[in-house]
Structure 1
Amino acid sequence: MDRQQILDLYTWAPGTCFRHPRKGEVLTAVVGVVHPCEDGEREVRACADCVITMEDIKREEAARAGSEYRPGPADEAQR
Protein backbone atom coordinates (compact mmCIF):
# COMPACT_ATOMS: atom_id res chain seq x y z
CA MET A 1 0.00 0.00 0.00
CA ASP A 2 1.16 3.50 -0.66
CA ARG A 3 1.00 6.42 1.79
CA GLN A 4 -2.36 7.75 0.62
CA GLN A 5 -4.02 4.34 0.68
CA ILE A 6 -2.95 3.92 4.30
CA LEU A 7 -4.11 7.41 5.27
CA ASP A 8 -7.48 6.73 3.61
CA LEU A 9 -8.09 3.96 6.17
CA TYR A 10 -8.36 6.61 8.90
CA THR A 11 -11.08 9.16 9.63
CA TRP A 12 -9.67 12.69 9.60
CA ALA A 13 -10.86 15.79 11.45
CA PRO A 14 -9.31 18.99 12.79
CA GLY A 15 -7.43 18.39 16.03
CA THR A 16 -4.08 18.57 17.77
CA CYS A 17 -1.38 15.99 17.10
CA PHE A 18 -0.09 14.43 20.31
CA ARG A 19 3.50 14.67 19.05
CA HIS A 20 3.27 18.14 17.49
CA PRO A 21 0.98 20.27 19.68
CA ARG A 22 2.79 23.46 18.69
CA LYS A 23 1.49 23.08 15.13
CA GLY A 24 -1.94 23.89 16.54
CA GLU A 25 -5.06 22.54 14.88
CA VAL A 26 -4.36 20.37 11.82
CA LEU A 27 -6.07 17.37 10.24
CA THR A 28 -5.65 14.43 12.62
CA ALA A 29 -6.91 10.91 13.12
CA VAL A 30 -7.69 9.08 16.34
CA VAL A 31 -4.86 6.63 17.07
CA GLY A 32 -5.85 5.65 20.59
CA VAL A 33 -7.86 6.45 23.68
CA VAL A 34 -6.57 7.15 27.18
CA HIS A 35 -8.50 7.14 30.42
CA PRO A 36 -6.98 9.72 32.79
CA CYS A 37 -7.93 9.41 36.46
CA GLU A 38 -11.13 11.29 37.18
CA ASP A 39 -11.25 12.72 33.67
CA GLY A 40 -13.25 10.22 31.63
CA GLU A 41 -11.91 9.35 28.21
CA ARG A 42 -9.64 11.29 25.86
CA GLU A 43 -8.77 10.61 22.25
CA VAL A 44 -5.14 10.55 21.20
CA ARG A 45 -4.89 12.20 17.79
CA ALA A 46 -2.03 12.18 15.28
CA CYS A 47 -1.20 14.10 12.10
CA ALA A 48 -0.61 12.31 8.79
CA ASP A 49 3.18 12.19 9.20
CA CYS A 50 2.86 10.62 12.66
CA VAL A 51 0.26 8.12 11.45
CA ILE A 52 2.65 7.00 8.70
CA THR A 53 5.50 6.74 11.22
CA MET A 54 3.34 4.57 13.47
CA GLU A 55 2.28 2.42 10.52
CA ASP A 56 5.95 1.89 9.60
CA ILE A 57 6.59 0.72 13.18
CA LYS A 58 3.59 -1.65 13.03
CA ARG A 59 4.87 -3.07 9.73
CA GLU A 60 8.37 -3.64 11.14
CA GLU A 61 7.00 -5.27 14.31
CA ALA A 62 4.77 -7.59 12.28
CA ALA A 63 7.71 -8.61 10.10
CA ARG A 64 9.87 -9.36 13.17
CA ALA A 65 7.08 -11.39 14.73
CA GLY A 66 6.36 -13.24 11.49
CA SER A 67 2.77 -12.05 11.52
CA GLU A 68 0.62 -10.29 8.97
CA TYR A 69 0.78 -6.49 8.81
CA ARG A 70 -2.69 -4.95 8.88
CA PRO A 71 -2.68 -1.23 8.16
CA GLY A 72 -5.27 1.07 9.65
CA PRO A 73 -6.40 2.22 13.06
CA ALA A 74 -6.37 -0.09 16.05
CA ASP A 75 -9.80 -1.42 17.05
CA GLU A 76 -9.94 0.90 20.07
CA ALA A 77 -9.39 3.94 17.84
CA GLN A 78 -12.16 2.99 15.41
CA ARG A 79 -15.01 3.82 17.78
Structure 2
Amino acid sequence: MERQQILDLYQWAPGICFRHPVKGETATIHVETVRPAGGGLQDVRACVDCALAMEERRKAAAERGGVAYKPGMLGGPDPADQP
Protein backbone atom coordinates (compact mmCIF):
# COMPACT_ATOMS: atom_id res chain seq x y z
CA MET A 1 0.00 0.00 0.00
CA GLU A 2 1.29 3.46 -0.86
CA ARG A 3 2.16 6.09 1.75
CA GLN A 4 -0.82 8.34 0.96
CA GLN A 5 -3.23 5.40 0.95
CA ILE A 6 -2.13 4.52 4.49
CA LEU A 7 -2.42 8.14 5.65
CA ASP A 8 -5.91 8.38 4.15
CA LEU A 9 -7.07 5.59 6.48
CA TYR A 10 -6.85 7.97 9.45
CA GLN A 11 -8.73 11.04 10.62
CA TRP A 12 -6.25 13.90 10.89
CA ALA A 13 -6.62 16.89 13.19
CA PRO A 14 -4.32 19.60 14.50
CA GLY A 15 -2.38 18.47 17.55
CA ILE A 16 1.02 17.97 19.14
CA CYS A 17 2.99 14.82 18.25
CA PHE A 18 4.07 12.82 21.30
CA ARG A 19 7.56 12.31 19.84
CA HIS A 20 8.04 15.73 18.24
CA PRO A 21 6.49 18.37 20.49
CA VAL A 22 8.98 20.98 19.25
CA LYS A 23 7.22 20.88 15.87
CA GLY A 24 4.29 22.58 17.57
CA GLU A 25 0.79 22.04 16.27
CA THR A 26 0.70 19.92 13.14
CA ALA A 27 -1.54 17.32 11.49
CA THR A 28 -1.83 14.35 13.85
CA ILE A 29 -3.83 11.21 14.47
CA HIS A 30 -5.13 10.03 17.82
CA VAL A 31 -3.15 6.97 18.93
CA GLU A 32 -4.22 6.43 22.52
CA THR A 33 -5.65 8.08 25.62
CA VAL A 34 -3.65 7.59 28.81
CA ARG A 35 -4.23 8.41 32.47
CA PRO A 36 -1.16 10.26 33.80
CA ALA A 37 -0.20 9.69 37.44
CA GLY A 38 -1.19 13.30 38.18
CA GLY A 39 -4.77 12.54 37.16
CA GLY A 40 -6.98 13.35 34.23
CA LEU A 41 -6.75 12.06 30.70
CA GLN A 42 -4.13 12.82 28.05
CA ASP A 43 -4.48 12.12 24.34
CA VAL A 44 -1.41 10.68 22.64
CA ARG A 45 -1.17 11.99 19.08
CA ALA A 46 1.25 11.16 16.25
CA CYS A 47 2.41 13.23 13.27
CA VAL A 48 2.64 11.91 9.71
CA ASP A 49 6.23 10.70 10.09
CA CYS A 50 5.51 8.91 13.37
CA ALA A 51 2.30 7.34 12.08
CA LEU A 52 4.13 5.92 9.07
CA ALA A 53 7.00 4.66 11.27
CA MET A 54 4.52 2.95 13.60
CA GLU A 55 2.76 1.36 10.62
CA GLU A 56 6.13 0.01 9.41
CA ARG A 57 6.77 -1.53 12.84
CA ARG A 58 3.28 -3.06 12.88
CA LYS A 59 3.85 -4.51 9.41
CA ALA A 60 7.19 -6.04 10.46
CA ALA A 61 5.65 -7.49 13.64
CA ALA A 62 2.78 -9.00 11.66
CA GLU A 63 5.22 -10.59 9.20
CA ARG A 64 7.33 -12.00 12.06
CA GLY A 65 4.18 -13.39 13.66
CA GLY A 66 2.91 -14.89 10.42
CA VAL A 67 -0.33 -12.89 10.50
CA ALA A 68 -1.89 -10.63 7.92
CA TYR A 69 -0.99 -6.96 8.15
CA LYS A 70 -3.85 -4.48 7.87
CA PRO A 71 -2.86 -0.80 7.88
CA GLY A 72 -4.99 1.84 9.51
CA MET A 73 -5.25 0.21 12.93
CA LEU A 74 -3.09 2.52 15.06
CA GLY A 75 -5.00 3.11 18.25
CA GLY A 76 -6.92 -0.11 17.65
CA PRO A 77 -6.23 -3.85 17.64
CA ASP A 78 -2.76 -4.79 16.45
CA PRO A 79 -2.68 -7.62 13.86
CA ALA A 80 0.46 -9.01 15.53
CA ASP A 81 -1.66 -9.62 18.65
CA GLN A 82 -4.29 -11.60 16.78
CA PRO A 83 -4.32 -15.42 17.03
TM-score by length of 1: 0.87
3-state DSSP class of the match of 1:28? strand
Residue number in structure 1 paired with 2:76:
75
Q: Does 1:22 align with 2:18?
A: no
Residue number in structure 1 paired with 2:66:
66
Structure-2 separation of matches of 1:75 and 1:44: 13
Deviation at 1:38, TM superposition (A): 4.7
**What letter corresponds to residue 57 of structure 2 in structure 1?**
I
- List structure 1 runs of 4+ shifted beyond 4 angstroms: none
Q: Deviations over 1:41-74 (max 9, x none)?
A: 2110010010000000000000000011111133
Extract unaligned runs of 5+ from structure 2: 78-83
Deviation at 1:37, TM superposition (A): 2.9
C-alpha RMSD over aligned residues: 1.4
- The more displaced of 53-62 and 1-10 is 1-10
Extract unaligned runs of 5+ from structure 1: none
Number of residues of Structure 1 aligned to a counterpart in Structure 2:
76
Q: Does 1:34 align with 2:62?
A: no
Residue number in structure 2 paired with 1:5:
5
Structure number with the bigger relative contact order (C-alpha 8 A, sep ≥ 6) is 1
3-state DSSP class of the match of 1:75? coil
Residue number in structure 2 paired with 1:43:
43
3-state DSSP class of the match of 1:19? coil
Identity %: 53
